[in-house]
Amino acid sequence: MAALWISAILMVVSAGLTVYVKLQQRAVKNYELRVKAFYVARAGANTMVFETNRAQNRYSNLAGINSLNSGKKEVKFGEGVYTATIEDEKSKANINTASEFLMRRMFEELGLKDAATKARGVMKWRREHGLLLHVEELGLVPELDVDDCFKIIPYFTVYSIGTPGSASLNVNTASSMVLKTQIEEFNGPATLTPQLIQKRPFRDRSVWAFISSRAPRMALPNVNYFTFSAPVFRVRSTATLNDTIKVTINTVVENWLDKHEIIYILDWWEE
């Protein structure tokens, strides 16, 4: 009887040990695949960073950005595939410097209810907590709910200077809504937005002469707030291995037109 009990206990221990070993093996394998997926994703992001540095002028407008993004879908690399995209951070308004008026008008354009209260809520948050490090921190503002954040986050950034005279908003990539509200804040004519959209892409400093000729009352620092180039890109790369392991990484880079320097404003972070 004792021998039977000992045999039963050993069988249970053995079965448990077998299950434990298999789970550990699976965990090690998943970790190995995840590390590989991370570097596949990073390879995709690096490809985008250096492509934008190599031919930045090509990607300072929507057509160029869309063309590059469409060519980097499901790219085979090593044991996995990656899909990489770039987004022009200068196509957005800076949430850290935006005035209450600008936010209210943008919130209204995006269909947020009680836009004035929500704009004041963001202003209060900035006064109490300082600058937002990520635009996703808007989710911490009590006056904004989840649906509000999903609507407004795509139109705001923390990676441009966002002050008059700073060449912060790219007229070649900004949405008509962002252009319209920014021009309205600067007391420019309503006709300027469709004129800019029809004329773009601008390829040089002629954009400032164009704006001045159609908005003669706009102050020069406000004219210089607009730009034709986009050296600040947010790069997002998602890698997949074995159709099961997925890793997404992001980075924000500033590429200078003379190609001598790439500044990593925010290094790689994983979603």
Burial (Cβ within 10 Å: 0-12, 13-18, ≥19) of residue 16: exposed
Whole-angstrom distance, CA of residue 167 vs CA of residue 161: 8
∠ CA 31-34-40, nearest 5°, is 150
Please confirm whether the linkage preceding 221 is cis (ω < 30° from 0): no
Residue ranges of the domains in the chain?
A: 92-227
DSSP state, residue 200: P
Mean pLDDT for all residues in the chain: 88
pLDDT of residue 6: 65
pLDDT of residue 156: 97
15-30 mean pLDDT: 59
pLDDT of residue 209: 96
pLDDT beyond 60 at 158: yes
Q: Above pLDDT 90, what percent of the chain? A: 68
pLDDT band at 17 (very low <50, low <70, confident <90, very high): low
pLDDT beyond 90 at 52: no
Query: Which residues, listed in sequence order, are joined to residue 239 by a DSSP beta bridge?
Result: 82, 247
pLDDT beyond 80 at 27: no
∠ CA 113-116-120, nearest 5°, is 125
pLDDT band at 50 (very low <50, low <70, confident <90, very high): confident
pLDDT of residue 229: 85
Q: Which of 159, 116, 113 is nearest to 135 (CA)?
A: 159
190-199 mean pLDDT: 96
Q: Which of 51, 48, 56 is nearest to 228 (CA)?
A: 56
pLDDT of residue 60: 87
pLDDT beyond 70 at 183: yes
pLDDT beyond 60 at 225: yes
Phi, psi angles (nearest 5°) of residue 18: -65, -45
Whole-angstrom distance, CA of residue 263 vs CA of residue 255: 7
How confident is the model over 82-129, as pLDDT tens digits? 999 999 999 999 999 999 999 999 999 999 999 999 999 999 999 999
